[in-house]
Amino acid sequence: MQDATLKSITATVQNGVAKADGKFWITETDIHFAPYNKDYGLGPLKIERSSISKVEKCLGKGAGILPITSDAIEVSLLDGSTFQFIVSNPNELVVLLSK
């Protein structure tokens, strides 16, 4: 049985200068991201919520260096890796993912 979706939005995953728009959704156990254009190699992603060490707001960057928006979150994992997503209403997602 698949977990119920708690939240589903359009988001942009960011990895350095590479970006991809797609569908971002949260279930009780996982975070998912499915890019609309699969040719970029930036997904799909499935992050187990139990592997998250913290979620916080961050700056979305243009060209990987210039801050262009404060509507972004960074998901840090227990293994030290991080994922950044440009999203609408980042405060709501920080609260939801910090539960």
The structural domains of the chain, with segments of one domain joined by +, span: 5-98
CATH fold of the domain at 5-98: PH-domain like (2.30.29)
The C-alpha angle with vertex 72 and arms to 40 and 8, in degrees rounded to 5, equals: 75
pLDDT by residue, tens only, the chain of 99 residues: 567 899 999 999 988 778 899 999 999 999 999 999 877 678 899 999 999 999 999 988 876 677 778 899 999 999 999 999 999 999 999 999 987
Dmax (CA) of the chain: 42
Nearest one of 15, 16, 36 to 24, comparing CA atoms: 36
CA 54 from centre of chain:
12
The type of residue at 97 is: L
Q: Do 23 and 31 meet the contact criterion of CB atoms below 8 Å apart?
A: no
Q: Is 47 exposed, middle or buried (0-12, 13-18, 19+ CB in 10 A)?
A: middle
pTM of the predicted model as reported, rounded to 2 decimal places: 0.88
